[in-house]
Amino acid sequence: GHIELARPVFHAGFMIKVKKILECICFSCGKLKVDMRDPQVANVVRRIKPQHRLKAIWALAAKKTVCETDDLAENDEGDATAEDEYKRDQRKAITVGGGHGGCGHLQPVWRKEALKLISVTKPSAEKREDGITEAEKRVVPPGEILNVLKKIPAEDLNIMGLNADYARPDWMILTVLPVPPAAVRPSISVDGGALRSEDDLTYKLIQILKASATVRRLEAEGVPPSVIDENFNF
C-alpha cells in the first residue's frame, strides 16, 4: 500500500541529483540552459553514454546565469514596435534557428542545507538602481520544484541522459510514500537486545499519516502558511 502525502517532499537519496538538474534548467520555464547548437553539448551527447551524461551537461549549463532568448533579426524597414513586424521577426528567428528559445529570466544559485534547497538570486538591474544590492535567499518548497521539473521537455531530458519514460526527474520528489507489509518491516532491538520489535517503522508511518492529515485539515481551514509549514516540516 501507500500513503498519499498532503504535500510533495524531497527524497533524501535524490537531493543531490535534483539540485544538479535544477542547475541545468531554467527555474522559470523548465528549458535546458544549453542546447545542441553548442558544439560542446553536441560532442557530449555524441560521445558520452546517457548514464554519465548529466555530470558533463551540468558542467556546461551551471555556468549560465540567464535563460537565453531568441536572437531576433533586426529589420531596418518599418516600425519595429508594430505587431506585424514583431511577429515577422519571431517567425524569422524560428526559421533560421536564431536563438535558444528561452524566457530571458535570471537564474538563481542553488544551495543545499540538510533536506532543504535554497535559491540565491542576485538583484536585477532595476533593483540595483533602487539601492538593493543583497542577494535574495529563499527556501523553495518541494511542490514548487516539482512543478518546474514537470516542465522539462523530452528532448532536454534526452540531452541530460534521462529517460522520459522511466526516469523523469519529477519522480525523484515523493508525492506518495510506499508502505511495506508488516511481515517485511525491519526489526529493532529493545531492552539491550534481548527482545526484538517490528513496531518502530509502524509508529513512524502512523506519525507521517497523522501529520499529513493535519496539514490537509489546516489548508482546508485557511490557516496561515507559517502554521502549516510547522506541521509540514515534521
pLDDT tens digit sequence for 145-164: 999 999 999 999 999 999 98
Q: How far apart are CA 31 and CA 34, in angstroms?
A: 9
Residue 128 dihedral angles phi and psi, to the nearest 5°: -65, -35
CA angle 177, 11, 115 (to 5 degrees): 125
State how far the alpha carbon of 12 is from the alpha carbons of 9, 17, 108, 164, 173, in Å. Answer: 9, 10, 22, 22, 9
In the structure, what pLDDT confidence band is assigned to residue 94 with cuts at 50, 70 and 90? very low
Q: How far apart are CA 130 and CA 145, in angstroms?
A: 30
Instruction: Give the pLDDT score at 45.
Output: 93
Q: How far apart are CA 149 and CA 170, in angstroms?
A: 5
- Name the one residue in this structure whose C-alpha cell is 553536441: 42
Instruction: Give the pLDDT score at 81.
Output: 54
State how far the alpha carbon of 47 is from the alpha carbons of 52, 105, 129, 224, in Å. Answer: 10, 31, 46, 52
Instruction: Give the pLDDT score at 76.
Output: 44
- Is residue 15 within 8 Å of 117, Cβ to Cβ? yes
Q: How far apart are CA 76 and CA 86, in angstroms?
A: 13
Say whether pLDDT at 110 is over 70.
yes
Over the stretch 191-204, which tens digit does the pLDDT of each residue have? 665 556 667 788 88
Say whether pLDDT at 8 is over 90.
yes
Instruction: Give the pLDDT score at 83.
Output: 56
Say whether pLDDT at 120 is over 80.
yes
- The pLDDT mean for the chain works out to 82
Instruction: Give the pLDDT score at 92.
Output: 45
Percentage of residues of the chain with pLDDT beyond 90: 42
The one-letter amino acid at 55: K
Closest CA to 198 of 208, 189, 211: 189
User: Would you tell me how many other CB atoms lie within 10 Å of the CB of residue 135?
Assistant: 12
